Amino acid sequence: MPAPAMPQAVLAARRQFSEARTVPDDLLPRPILRSWERCAGLGFDMEAQPRVEPMTAQALRELRERHALLRRICRPELEALRAEAETTDSIIILTDASGVLLERLGSADFAERATRVALSPGVAWGEQATGTNAIGTALVERRPIEVRGGEHYFAPHRFLSCSASPIFDPRGELVAILDLSGPASVHHLHALGLVRLAVDQIEHRLFQHGFKHCDLLRFHADAALIGTPREGILAFRDHRLVAANRYGLALLELTPEAIDARRFGDLFANGLSKLDERCRLRSHSGVEFHARLRRPMPCAAKVATRTVAARARTEPWLDDGLCAARDRAVRLIDGDVPVLLQGETGVGKEVLARQIHAHSARSSGAFVAVNCAAVPETLIESELFGYVEGAFTGARKQGATGLLREAHGGVLFLDEIGDMPLPLQARLLRVLQEREVTPLGGTRATPVDFAVICATHRNLKEMVAQGAFRSDLYFRIAQYTIALPPVRTLDNLRDVIATLWTQIADDAAVGLARDTLDLLAAYDWPGNFRQLVSTLRALHVLSQPEQPLTQDLLPAEIRDHGSCEGAAGQNSGHAAGQDRDKDTSCLADVTRDAMRQALARAGGNVSLAAKQLGVNRSTIYRQLSNELARRHAPAI
């Protein structure tokens, strides 16, 4: 289908811009002209076909996964606009903050035409890639934009008419673009208005995530608008403004720079601590507002106020007890008291450590994670302490800072601290006591200031008794300990799995069948949350729209585990061959469990576990080898 004829004004504007790089104000909107000028500065040819490189399917899946919360929040508006898009032969598009398409819904016919110019998921539509267009120009201008037909910089795009609006998070940061695109031959009179209304709804919904521990103020001069997307919303933590929507800023004539810079008393004549749930406010300029105030929830005194991506999802395993323990850990970290996290591999120790960092007074500083078991013993000292030029053969010419100095001002997370070599434990203890680091080969110590969170799956007390861990370092880092429970001990495991599934498979049309959920909840999950989440992600990839996930898609070890448990109650008259197979499977499970428990009691010490079980060390090593092979075998 040929591109529609351009209006004379746009045709004249393109001709004049090509010849003289200037356009009269009455021929072209100023935002479009500014975009053309940026494109010309990049050396783009208006008649050329832009070169774009779509990302791989794997990269797109990972990108969508990173933006799962954003996509879920936007889903109601995307579905509502889908009907409008289908009736007007259009498509509705959601991008990330860089203009890469995450979702595309609407008319299948127009989607096919859009694909010919790479208006497809996984393709970047920023101006630097695709010239003047509603998505890319809205990103630069940070405002709603309409680009029709020949206003697109590249000629192959002139069959498009696009309306886009940026989506800002409560911190005033641009996190996405919502766009409605259709054929330029049709005048989409209300397209931009529809997009802006949808964005209002999305930005309003963003305040449902991450502010339960803040004073949340909803206000407007018109009482009828309280509770609607046009109400002003402000969030205060310790009386300081930490988040606001566009309407809240506009009502007080503020810019996003006011976030983190203004206090409640700077904005209103009333005192925050004296306000009721429903109240009246007066600004310092004398404007009266109707308001509703929601006080912070009692759990947790502090909350991280980051972008949508940084706030991410809540953790379903973080129950009230762990929430309270985390909040105590935050106060200790703020008071420079180290915290030790203990639990089996995969129970979420690093996730909890990151939450403690995010809720602490050091949240603006770095979170530096070091896996003491993963770094080779010969390299861990240089990785931690850094080194000067020429410290050893192969050292970089400019030396290295080291992870301890990189953590300055933030939090140092030492994962698997029980695997740190004894000589290095002595050096670490000296750093923690003296608060200064001397790099390898250097003579000058550098002061450092960081909080310390350690984690281990080992029993450090027993290691101290066996001489495998320094007692002075243990008492320095274990002043407050949080024990994270393994997945198999959770009373609400079924609910946890269901919640995780909704977070991973945000498509409500795909559900877990009851028998599938039963098998998942009955499994003992030796890899804990790491294994559970990986399994659910695999199921999501295998899922089919509108079809519940049945147990035949589960890994064999989970299905077999369910069969093993069911075998206990079966009639003894079953065929001998079937019973033998099930008994063998059950015996293997019992053997694995016994060795796993013995290793846990021995703090990972194979010799001690073998002695407790009355078997040779080689038996345990062989079982561990089989277990490792079984876990890494293909799941389908």
pLDDT in tens, 220-246: 999 999 988 999 999 998 899 999 999
User: Do the domains at 313-483 and 492-632 have one common CATH topology?
Assistant: no
Share of the chain above pLDDT 70, in %: 79
Q: List pLDDT tens digits, range 319-348.
A: 677 888 888 898 888 888 899 999 998 888
Question: What does the pLDDT look like over 8-26, one tens digit per residue?
Answer: 888 888 988 988 888 877 7
Residue 468 Rama label (left phi>0; alpha psi -120 to 50; beta): alpha
Q: Report helix, strand or coil for 342.
A: strand
- The full set of domain ranges for the chain reads 8-189, 214-294, 313-483, 492-632
Question: How do 215-220 and 288-294 pair as beta strands?
Answer: antiparallel
The percentage of the chain sitting over the pLDDT mark of 90, rounded to a whole number, equals 35
Q: Using CA atoms, how far apart are residues 75 and 103, in angstroms rounded to an integer?
A: 10
Q: Report the run of H or E that residue 303 belongs to, with start and end.
A: none
pTM for this structure? Answer: 0.50
Q: Is the pLDDT of residue 100 over 80?
A: yes
- Phi then psi dihedrals of residue 222, to 5 deg: -100, 115
Fold that domain 492-632 belongs to in CATH: Helicase, Ruva Protein; domain 3 (1.10.8)
State pLDDT tens for residues 398-407: 667 778 888 8
d(CA 149, CA 115): 17
Nearest 5°: the CA angle 460, 462, 465 is: 110
pLDDT band at 395 (very low <50, low <70, confident <90, very high): low
- Is the pLDDT at 475 greater than 80? The verdict is yes
Question: Which amino acid is present at 234?
Answer: L
CB 611 within 8 A of CB 619: no
**pLDDT tens digits along 556-597:** 888 776 655 554 444 444 444 444 344 334 444 545 666 776
Instruction: Report the distance separating Cα 498 and Cα 174, nearest Å.
Output: 31
Q: pLDDT, tens digit, for every residue of 25-64?
A: 778 899 999 999 999 999 999 999 998 888 898 889 888 8
Residue 432: pLDDT band by 50, 70, 90 thresholds? confident
> At 610, is the pLDDT very low, low, confident or very high (cuts 50, 70, 90)?
low
Q: Where are the beta strands (DSSP E) in 126-214?
A: 145-148, 160-168, 174-183
- In whole angstroms, how large is the CA radius of gyration of the chain? 30
For residue 312, the model assigns a pLDDT of 35
pLDDT at 619 over 90: no
Give domain 313-483's CATH architecture: 3-Layer(aba) Sandwich (3.40)
Domain 8-189, CATH number (from 1.10.10.10, 3.30.565.10, 1.10.150.120, 3.30.450.40): 3.30.450.40
Pairing mode of beta strands 174-183, 446-447:
unpaired
Most confident of the following: 197-206, 404-413, 420-429: 197-206
What pLDDT is attached to residue 308?
34
List the one residue out of 163, 60, 164 whose CA is nearest residue 121: 60
Q: Which of 84-88, 179-183, 201-205, 435-439 is predicted least confidently?
A: 435-439
Sign of CA dihedral 354, 357, 359, 364: negative
* pLDDT for 309: 33
